[in-house]
Chains A and B, each alone.
Chain A
Amino acid sequence: MSSLSERPQQAVVGLPLPHESAALHVTGQALYTDDFVVRTKDVLHAWPVQSPHTHARITDLRVKPAYDVPGVVRVLTGDDVPGVNDAGVKHDEPLFPTEAMFHGHAICWVLAESLEAARLGAAAVEVDYEPLDSLVTVREAIAAGSFQGTGRHLARGDVEAAFASAAYVFDGEFEFAGQEHFYLETHSALSLVDENGQIFVQSSTQHPSETQEIVAHVLGVPSHEVTVQCLRMGGGFGGKEMQPHGFAAIAALGATLTGRPVRLRLNRTQDITMSGKRHGFHSAWRAGFDDDGHLIALDATLTADGGWSLDLSEPVLARAMCHIDNSYRIPNVRVDGRIAKTNKTSQTAFRGFGGPQGMIVVEDILGRCAPMLGYDGTELRRRNLYRVGDTTPYGQPVRHADRLESCWTQVSGNGDVVRRRAEIEAFNATHPHTKRALAMTPVKFGISFNLTAFNQAGALVHVYKDGSVLINHGGTEMGQGLHTKMLQVAATTLGLPLARVRLAPTRTDKVPNTSATAASSGADLNGAAIKNACEQIRDRLAQVAGGKLGIGPHDVRFVEGQVSGLSGDSLSWDELVHTAYHQRVQLWAAGFYRTEGLHWDANAMRGEPFKYFAYGVAAAEVEVDGFSGAYTLRRVDIVHDVGDSLSPLIDIGQIEGGFVQGTGWLTLEDLRWDESDGPHRGRLATQAASTYKLPSFSEMPAEFNVNLLEKAHEDGAVYGSKAVGEPPLMLAFAVREALRQAAAAFGPAGTSVDLASPATPEAVYWALDRARSSVGSEPLETSGV
């Protein structure tokens, strides 16, 4: 067992604690970026001028009429940028564009005394556009050869030989939709400049260091003149990894130019029409199976719809390609990946980061092919699961592959799957207008940033003279419970009750050069950095305690605020800290962590990019109405591998929430752009909560059983835990596959069902209608007259 993963007795990690801010959340006292506005004097409000064209050159921009609107103070345009006019890191995202690249693109920003004045000011700005041809769909981009960034190629084995030897070869195309993050808190930033010219930005950002960098380069100042703080976010899900930078930069630019605090908060419509989303993809595939249902060859071309600029599309594509195997052994693989450039929002990170888009391709293949191979989908999946000793197509050993089987067996048992499938069969035989189905799907998800450099983190831990502890780290809190876990890690390492440790807001002037809180790695990286800082302090204190207790420092134990040796003599933590201060011992430390053992050749798409894999299995039962395609989620059983949990209540919350969010992506959430040639071409038609529907109470499973895989120690991570943020999202494939099977149950046995994604009631209706029409119409049973 590694020292990183070893967990002491009476550890605070592992206790099921509620979120550290729960009492603030429920009483409305928890503060979010925009809540600081009323607490700040003389704030100016920002409003964008958005393009009504999907692609157009800006031929003239007249801001003067805005100044005639009472309350308007300043209009920000490209001419105001002292540094680099760019909101991203790829230098392809002008903060103030000269060409509108998508419908809703912000052209300039109006600052005013009130939000109302800013809105009216923005409406008064006159922009002349010369409309240009646009590409709205990924198919249009493919046809036009419109791509961006670097395409990738991943290969193993001999695909063509395998197809030649395969008993069955199928091919198909599958296009699936993206997803809007719909964090409840929209993008927001509040910036002010202090007496010394220091620029402070309160930002709802998952990546404060990068927000700081972008603000600095837009303003043309060094990073040390900019401080970014994030108390907490009202949800992030990847949507605040790259996207907040430009908004923070607008607020900071406005603050430096006016000398007044500037608040920028997007309303929902602005947020949906301006910020990036999960990438939709197009895939074309060929799959070969042997006589025993083993997937022996897969050839696929993945085209990610990147939108108008690169953003994170390249790493998203790489992760999609690295997850096309999901949990299945595929000896011969060839995957080509490329990024389409379209006139849409610039698509970005979203929980799973390409993983879901890779996995859905193989899950769709298995779901469609199973009936043609004579297998039930669940049985076909189990046959193809990775076994101990297998490696992924990019050459990484699948360590702990046996956990897939363990999760599978436990879900089967907990969910009473054999009995329920028999019940479902009986139900379906007697219900011509309603069909049920149960499907099981696995998840294997690689943990670490694909880009090796991001796998580092820092922390700053202070022990004050009175023994109280303050921790800082580079991770951000977006609801995932990172801060709760970090408090538990610090208390565990220092052997203190939780109440002695307090956490200060994430700020770039405390811990610099941090990575985004993303890739599910927040607890792994920051937890290890905090542990490292606490260990430095603890080791110094052990020297002091050893001297007082007359024992060697290695024999000193820190447990629940008492410091003792084997002899039974002890002193209190507070007493020890007091003594150490007077001995002039440093009571604070900076901690650092970098993940060891990673290597990745991005060009060859080979290596070991992941520290470990997180595993899980879900079983979902649905009921589908044959008249409408409407469905309900009757029951879900999950067993998921989070290692030895740092915080079980938090982890179960992540699994449940991720699962429902994944179910939303796959079944309900329906991004619709106007793809017509009409006047609104390229406009997002679903730009509000009333048209873009998130899962509500009616979509949660009626019965929802989530269990953590037991005895799941992970040797390579802090206190034996595993990451949890993203992997459970992909457990939702079970719902989609159950819907496919229920639709198939309206047709004759062995019907292969092609199901659109998202599988809305309409999509399910067309699927079941096709299945049903292959047998002719059933007599209507009636209970009436």
Chain B
Amino acid sequence: MSTTTTQAPSITVNGEQTTIGDVAVHTTVLDWLRDRGLTGAKEGCAEGECGACSVLVARPGTDSPTEWTAVNACLLPVASLDGQEVITSEGLGTPADLHPVQQELAVRGGSQCGYCTPGFVCSMAAEFYRSTRTTANGHSDHEHGPNGFDLHALSGNLCRCTGYRPIRDAAYALGEPALNDALAARRSAPPPPPAATAIAVDGAEFLRPAGLPEVLDLLAECPEAQIVAGSTDVGVEVNLRGVRKPLIVAVDRLTELREFSFGPDEIRIGAALTLSELERLLAGRVPLLAHLFPQFASRLIRNGATIGGNLGTASPIGDTPPALLALDASLVLSSRRGERIVPLADYFTGYRETLKAPDELIRTIVVPLPLEPVTAFHKIAKRRFDDISSVAVGYAVDVADGVVRRARIGLGGVAATPLRAVATEQALIGKPWTERTVREAAAVMAAEGTPMDDHRASSSYRSAMLGQSLLRFYAEGVGA
């Protein structure tokens, strides 16, 4: 084996700088930690569904310089954490000196078999340290504790033993970090900057170029390179399908891909912003997306997954396309040849196929302003937290004087690509916003797409859900 790097890639694990060493470039953070004897993090599913592998990474925050961010260690290539800081359950506390999160879980019966527990500990610690979590507000409902704990922080962690009640009780019993808490203090300094990483082992390479031009050069020369950001999709291919790409190019830390601006004419969203970051940056200003975020996979996945990635994979059951189609979004595609703007409605060309050329990269998502006054996002799935859509529908409608002026409806899960429900839109536009119009349009909508039968849902249920979705949209009120 040979390794060539600019400087020996390393990760600070539980405060100790550790050389990544001579490992295959597809090696996951989880396998790498476990090979080093840190066996607290477990593999439960190897696809980012169970959270038993959850660890904390120091990432840029929006409300403090650093946020301790929980991610699925089973999905991330270890090379992608070059220069970063990681905390595992072993680093949070010891049996003789438990971290507050560990203490609450232990005494309240939050662990039974204990296998999922280190992952729960890390996800819960991330929420414990969230800089915007406050014990002061005292508002609680069944998804928020009186200490500001958002239960969605644990939406990517599965426990097969406890039935969750004691874990919830532990989460809601947490106080503020102590004044001398080193991890709390760490938040006030910036996270480690992105390292320019170049690792080559056994003929495969992992590259993290310093800037966008270098990435575009690489893509021009090597269009088959695997672009990776949060690795929430690529990681599954690596683990479950044994995909081993010879060249992996990481783009998630590129400043050019992390722009964000709001207004006056448009919202510009950098493709490498994670769903969690975007949720914080938008702060509810796009109600359609605010409605979508908690339904998009889990917090663990949203902490890694980028909005560009969700469009780049072009899955027909991705959750953002139906919403972005309704918002009339466009994509800025970059290559060494220049930039072009493509309406999202034209972007998807076939099953996991798009207009994007092999040498192009999604740089920015552009959402025009003003937003339509009435929007909604409906997701049909078996499970409320962390599930894949059977059907997803995004609505953006303008009703004035009782008449539908504009209507855009984005659909997912009913065809080989996400699509606009054009026939339904036509059945609504210019019509009075009445039950009769809606029932007629619902019949049209139920015939949109070509839904299929699979393990998630039958085709007849998917079709029924399209029509029912419009009825629900009407029944829940347009509030215009």
Contacts and interface: CB of A to CB of B under 8 A. Distances in A.
B163 A232 contact: no
Interface centre among B385, B455, B468 (most CB of A within 10 A): B455
B47 A690 contact: yes
B474 A784 contact: yes
Interface string B311-347: 0000000000000000000000000000000000000
Interface string B165-201: 1101000000000000000000000000000000000
B242 A232 contact: no
B424 interface: no
Interface string B69-93: 0000000000000000000111011
Contacts of A268: 43-47
Nearest to A669: B382
A685 B165 CA distance: 31
A27 B95 contact: yes
Contact of B50 (A232, A689, A779): A689
Interface stretch (B109-117, B283-291, B364-372): B109-117
Contact of B475 (A479, A693, A782, A785): A782
A489 interface: no
Interface string B378-404: 001111111110100000000100100
B401 to A, nearest CB: 9
Contact of B114 (A30, A659, A697): A30
Nearest to A21: B114
A39 interface: yes
Interface stretch (A181-189, A312-320, A356-364, A386-394): A181-189
Contacts of B108: 18
Given A25-B114, A783-B476, A697 B151 contact: yes
A25 B117 contact: yes
Interface centre among A25, A26, A183, A672 (most CB of B within 10 A): A26
B385 A696 contact: yes
B225 interface: no
A38 B42 CA distance: 13
B95 A23 contact: yes
A619 interface: no
A691 B475 CA distance: 31
Contacts of B474: 780, 782, 784
B98 A26 contact: yes
Contacts of A164: none
B106 interface: yes
A2 interface: no
Nearest to B156: A696
A600 interface: no
Interface in B453-480: 454-458, 461, 464-465, 468-469, 471-472, 474-480
B221 interface: no
B382 A761 contact: yes
A184 B115 contact: yes
Interface string A604-644: 00000000000000000000000110101000000000000
A661 interface: yes
A213 interface: no
Contact of A480 (B34, B45, B112, B475): B112
A185 B475 contact: no
Nearest to B120: A26
A27 B382 contact: no
Contacts of A688: 45, 47, 49, 240
Size category of the A interface is: 35 or more
Interface in B23-65: 24, 34-47, 49-50, 52
A19 B111 CA distance: 7
Contact of B42 (A184, A700, A760): A184
A700 B168 contact: yes
Given A689-B49, A700-B165, A785-B478, A28 B240 contact: no
A666 interface: no
- Interface secondary structure of B, over-half rule: loop
B114 A234 contact: yes
A235 B477 CA distance: 46
Given A185-B115, A689-B45, A760-B382, A24 B39 contact: no
Interface in A67-112: none
- Interface secondary structure of A, over-half rule: loop
A184 B160 contact: yes
A695 B387 CA distance: 11
A696 B38 CA distance: 26
Nearest to A268: B45
B274 interface: no
Given A628-B380, A659-B163, A26 B105 contact: yes
A760 B39 CA distance: 36
B109 A649 contact: yes
A694 interface: yes
Nearest to A667: B382
Given A18-B109, A119-B242, A184 B88 contact: no
A22 interface: yes
Contact of A234 (B36, B42, B88, B455): B42
A704 B465 contact: no
Given A21-B114, A23-B106, A184 B384 contact: no
Contacts of A657: 112, 160-163
B435 A38 contact: no
B351 interface: no
Given A268-B45, A697-B168, A765 B464 contact: yes
A35 B39 contact: yes
Given A26-B89, A652-B109, A661-B163, A19 B114 contact: yes
Size category of the B interface is: 35 or more
Interface in A770-785: 779-785
Nearest to B88: A28
Nearest to A704: B165
A237 B113 CA distance: 11
A311 interface: no
Interface centre among A186, A480, A686 (most CB of B within 10 A): A186
Nearest to B112: A479
A139 B98 CA distance: 54
A510 interface: no
A184 B44 contact: yes
Contacts of B454: 685
B45 A653 contact: no
Interface centre among A24, A481, A659, A689 (most CB of B within 10 A): A689
A479 B40 CA distance: 16
Nearest to B52: A184
Contacts of B37: 38-39
Interface string A235-255: 111000000000000000000
A277 B468 CA distance: 35
Contacts of B456: 691
Contacts of A24: 95, 114
A697 B477 contact: no
Contacts of B410: none
B50 A184 contact: yes
B119 to A, nearest CB: 9
B438 interface: yes
B235 to A, nearest CB: 12
Contacts of B139: none
Contacts of A19: 106, 109, 111-112, 114
Nearest to A676: B453
Interface string B247-291: 000000000000000000000000000000000000000000000
Nearest to B115: A234
17 contacts: A18-B106, A27-B102, A234-B42, A267-B43, A268-B47, A433-B475, A627-B469, A630-B380, A632-B384, A653-B161, A653-B163, A689-B50, A691-B455, A697-B168, A699-B384, A779-B435, A784-B433
Given A26-B103, A28-B40, A657-B161, 10 more contacts: A19-B112, A25-B118, A26-B111, A27-B102, A184-B42, A185-B42, A234-B116, A652-B109, A696-B383, A785-B402
10 tightest Cβ-Cβ pairs between the two chains A and B:
A28-B40, A479-B113, A234-B115, A25-B114, A784-B477, A689-B49, A660-B163, A28-B89, A479-B112, A698-B384
